[in-house]
Amino acid sequence: MEQKELNPIPIYQYLDAEGEVIERLPGWTEDKDILLGYYRHMVLGRQADAKAVALQRTGQMGTYPSCLGQEAISTVTCALMKKEDVLVPYYRDHPGLMVRGIPLSDILLYWGGDERGSSGDHWGKDFPNCVPIATQACHAAGVAAALKIRQDSGIAVCALGDGATSKGDFLEALNLAGAWQLPVVFVINNNQWAISVPRRIQSGAPTLAQKGVSAGLPSYQVDGNDVIALHEVINEAIDRARSGKGATVIEAISYRLGDHTTADDASRYRSSDELQQAWGKEPIKRLRTFLHHRGYWDEQQEQALIKEVSLQIEQEVQTYLNTPLPPVKDLFDYHYANMPSALKQQKQEAELRAAGGQSHE
Amino acid sequence: MSKITMVEAVNLALDHAMESDPDVVMLGEDIGVNGGVFRATQGLKDKYGFKRVMDTPLAETLIAGISIGMAAQGLKPVAEIQFMGFIFPTMEQLICHAARMRNRTRGRLSCPMVLRAPFGGGIHAPEHHSESTEALLAHIPGLRVVIPSSPVRAYGLLRSAINEPDPVIFLEPKRIYRASKQEVDHKTPLLPLDKCFTLKQGQDVTLVSWGASVKETMEAASTLEQHGVSAEVIDVATIKPLDMETILTSVQKTGRCVIVHEACKSFGAGAEIAASLAEQALTFLKAPVERVTGFDTIMPYYRMEDHYLPSPDDIMKAALKTLSFH
């Protein structure tokens, strides 16, 4: 049997790598504000990402995972969500978090090693970054179950990477989502690399999306660098979840143009030719070309946007850099709602130690 | 008021918690139609429906993971892991997420879930069904580990665990699920977490235990009484966080301490208690602290389990050893 016969998954694409239309466009693309909104957020996401890497390189932030190249997936996913929906992100969703209303200063604060980066009210009920792989898929299923049980109107959206699809948590969550008809959308950011392990070694399945088929879920592949295709597929999945028809699995195919994190050097395991080819497919240039062709965008607007975004990022960076360290008591105050007495003693000890006093009699 | 067993008290606590709070839901393998393999959830699906008493797929990681998702959205899930031997797949979810949800979001999200599991040996169960691995969980900041030793305490502690705004691991010693009966009903008081219970006052030696071993410890205390030795018996009940104050007060009075648990000796909760006594009560001790525990071996299959579990005689001998120390 040919491998392609094993692939039961449709793949969606409207714009080719050069931004040329290759499929009849859906009606909503006549609304240029939607497309321009995506473009602005993606540009913001990319500039912010570059700034975050620079902060790490200059010792002003901790290890950071770049989202370079996969801005479209995160941006479109979050733009299509409603406020009452719950995002269960993975650690490379920075553009989407900003779409959800999380200030960049929070994102920098989190990667700068401060728990308060996940604490503000603007986070609502959204989950914080998930560093362990795929564990958040189960949280998303639980959130969806809670929404269904309480008859709340929202849905859950779970983001994860291609490596996450190899873990049991992912498969267990999909299995439950199918069995319980849960209002959840799983969006796989297939950026081709799980640190140094390429997609072809990650799984023998021709597509990652088809793992959803075994759970009885509608499952699709989409060009993750094509905002129009992403919008179509994700919007339909969100509608399905919202109308009580259950979960969907979407494999959005993109490419991690950067290193895994700032502690990684991808040149050790992948070729510059491959990287160069991937740059030819990246989402921002593709959308910009399309917008130019349609007369929605010009160089003047581009320059104005770059300036506006730079100013915004600079302000957020200053907010982050000016955030004072939390007090030592914060180490203790949030582990339990009702602090155990033994911990109260350790808290006093830590405060004494921080004040330069003796911690032992 | 009728007298009921510990497993019936667990059932009653779950019933009353669900009755009093519509946000309390239950989930696990076989807990619905079947009422749980030990019948701890019997009748609850019929009373509260499948939306609140949920049979899950056979997937322990998932059970813990969805409980976290539910809890962070405001439900109070009470999850059952069928045997503690199957709790290990849940550890990543418990350690990496449940235990730290409040801290990592500075209280924006929390995880008011209870994870129940029958544990311990003595019922002739198959391999992987009889271990006592409570210390693994007790080591984790952010978790509570609660272990009842009687029907009244199972009821009172489980109700409190469900009310607790943070995650609680509630371990049920299955050897004593049906070992005794006590009067339990709606009026039975909720019991505080993070507190030890002094079951018997005494002057000569403090016996500290929890879970099923409390039964053998109380038997040993009775025998010691017949030999003219007055033993104080403390049921730790909440392993983490540990109420050392009650234990210290007792040891300051008696000057001697024997710690009894089913779990392996090394790195167990008994070691934590002994170390705290060494730190905080050394000058009160008249003899080295003794530990009567399981061995640092794999829990044997059931033909040999009596050789592994501490007996009343073992406990009595350890107490007499502390009394004869000079």
Could you read off the pLDDT of B86-121 as tens digits, one per residue?
A: 999 999 999 999 999 999 999 999 999 999 999 999
| Chain A interface includes B283 (CB < 8 A) | no
User: Between chain A and chain B, how many beta carbons pairs sit less than 8 Å apart?
Assistant: 147
Q: What pLDDT is recorded for position A4?
A: 53
Residue B17 pLDDT > 60, yes or no? Answer: yes
Q: pLDDT category, A358, cuts 50, 70, 90?
A: low
| A260 in active site | yes
Tell me the nearest-neighbour CA distance from B121 into chain A, angstroms: 30
Mutate to test the interface with B, among A97, A111, A131, A143 (most CBs of B within 10 A): A143
Write the pLDDT tens digit of every residue in A210-246.
999 999 999 999 999 999 999 999 999 999 999 999 9
Distance CA(A2)–CA(A19), nearest Å, equals 32
Write the pLDDT tens digit of every residue in A327-341.
999 999 999 999 999
Question: Cβ of A342 and B65 within 8 Å?
Answer: no
Q: How far is CA B324 from the centre of its chain?
A: 32
Distance CA(B31)–CA(B43), nearest Å, equals 10
Which of A116, A176, A336 has its CB closest to that of B66? A176
**What is the crossing angle of helices A71-79 and A283-294, to 10°?**
70
Q: Is the peptide bond before A65 cis (omega within 30 degrees of 0)?
A: no
Q: What pLDDT is recorded for position A10?
A: 87
The stretch B131-141 carries a mean pLDDT of 96
Residue B187 · residue B279 · CB < 8 Å: no
Tell me the nearest-neighbour CA distance from A106 into chain B, angstroms: 12
Give the bridge partners for A190, in sequence order. A253
The stretch A72-99 carries a mean pLDDT of 98
Mean pLDDT for chain A overall: 95
- What's the one-letter identity of residue B297? T
Interface pTM (ipTM) of the complex?
Answer: 0.94
**What is the crossing angle of helices B269-280 and B244-254, to 10°?**
60
Tell me the nearest-neighbour CA distance from B309 into chain A, angstroms: 30
Tell me the nearest-neighbour CA distance from A262 into chain B, angstroms: 22
Q: Which two tokens mark B176?
A: 């004593």
Question: Cβ of B65 and A139 within 8 Å?
Answer: yes
Residue A2 pLDDT > 60, yes or no? Answer: no
Q: Looking at beta carbons, which residues of chain B come within 8 Å of A138?
A: 61-62, 64-66, 68-69, 93
Q: Looking at beta carbons, which residues of chain B come within 8 Å of A88?
A: 69
Q: Looking at beta carbons, which residues of chain A come within 8 Å of B102?
A: 334-337
The set of long-range contacts for A202-206, using a CB threshold of 8 Å and a minimum separation of 24, is: A202/A162, A202/A163, A202/A165, A202/A166, A203/A165, A203/A166, A205/A6, A206/A3, A206/A4, A206/A6, A206/A7, A206/A9
Could you tell me if residue A151 is left (phi over 0), alpha (psi between -120 and 50 degrees) or otherwise beta? left
Q: What pLDDT is recorded for position B326?
A: 84
Tokens 């600079």 -> residue: A314
Window 137-176 of B: residues touching A by CB (8 A cutoff) are 141-142, 144, 164-166
Distance CA(B254)–CA(B284), nearest Å, equals 8
| Percentage of the residues of chain A whose pLDDT score is greater than 70 | 97
- The active-site residue, picked from B129, B139, B227, B326, is B129
Distance CA(B304)–CA(B173), nearest Å, equals 19
Which of A128, A142, A175 has its CB closest to that of B69? A142
Nearest chain A Cα to B92, which residue? A135
Window 107-126 of B: residues touching A by CB (8 A cutoff) are 107-110
Residue A356 pLDDT > 90, yes or no? Answer: no
Write the pLDDT tens digit of every residue in A253-299.
999 999 999 999 999 999 999 999 999 999 999 999 999 999 999 99
Distance CA(B69)–CA(A38), nearest Å, equals 29
Nearest chain B Cα to A114, which residue? B104
Residue A6 pLDDT > 90, yes or no? Answer: no
Tokens 């490596």 -> residue: A163
Residue A1 pLDDT > 50, yes or no? Answer: no
Which of B96, B165, B244 has its CB closest to that of A337? B165
Residue B198 pLDDT > 70, yes or no? Answer: yes
Which of A125, A131, A172 has its CB closest to that of B73? A125
Residue B25 pLDDT > 90, yes or no? Answer: yes
Question: Is B259 in a helix, a strand, or coil?
Answer: strand
The full 3-state SS of B174-190, as one line of letters, equals HHHCCCCCEECCCCCCC
- The active-site residue, picked from A269, A293, A334, A353, is A269
- Among A96, A173, A103, smallest CA distance to A141 is for A173
Q: What is the DSSP letter of B82?
A: S
Question: Cβ of A334 and B244 within 8 Å?
Answer: no
Length of chain B: 326
Supply the Cα-derived Rg of chain A in whole angstroms: 22
Q: What pLDDT is recorded for position A7?
A: 67
Mutate to test the interface with B, among A334, A345, A349 (most CBs of B within 10 A): A334
Residue A359 pLDDT > 70, yes or no? Answer: no
Distance CA(A63)–CA(A46), nearest Å, equals 17
Question: Cβ of B70 and A168 within 8 Å?
Answer: no
Phi, psi values for residue A2, rounded to 5°: -65, 145
Tokens 């990319």 -> residue: A46
Q: Looking at beta carbons, which residues of chain B come within 8 Å of A146?
A: 69-70, 73-75
- pTM for the predicted model, two decimal places: 0.96
- The active-site residue, picked from A240, A260, A286, A320, is A260
- Among B239, B76, B50, smallest CA distance to A142 is for B76
Length of chain A: 361
Q: How far is CA A104 from the centre of its chain?
A: 14
Q: pLDDT category, A361, cuts 50, 70, 90?
A: very low
Residue B72 pLDDT > 70, yes or no? Answer: yes
Question: Cβ of A141 and B66 within 8 Å?
Answer: yes
The stretch A146-159 carries a mean pLDDT of 96
The stretch A56-69 carries a mean pLDDT of 98
Q: What is the DSSP letter of A337?
A: S
Mean pLDDT for chain B overall: 97
Question: Cβ of B62 and A335 within 8 Å?
Answer: no
